[in-house]
Structure 1
Amino acid sequence: MVNYIKESYNELRNHVSWPEWGEAQKLTVIVAVFSVILALAVFGVDQVFSSVIEQYFNWIKS
């Protein structure tokens, strides 16, 4: 286990190309915006289906 941690640390330290700070910030904002958009889309679809199912059950009750 210790060897795995050492090798993982070495890999991250010496072989991974990290983005510049400005690029990382820009990409973080993009991910956050798309996450909010996706959450709103899922919320909208959920509301529509909820409304449709509620109308269906009201129709069956009548």
Structure 2
Amino acid sequence: MNNSPNVQLGSDYVQPADRPTAWAAMAAGLANDGYTPAQIADALCVDETTAHRLLAFAGRAA
């Protein structure tokens, strides 16, 4: 259970229809922080092919 006063349960929930855009934004943010596609895949718990697809969806070449 999260007891943090700054975070409400469910506040980070992403509706299914919005997930590709949200995950692509997360991938792009990690890429901006210097993560490699392999590191992005690990951070987002996806395979590296999916990380490349998310980066392409976000308009970032991997």
Bigger CA radius of gyration: 1
TM-score, normalized by length of structure 2? 0.28
Higher relative contact order (CA 8 A, sep 6+): 2
Please state which structure has a larger fraction of its residues in helix. 1
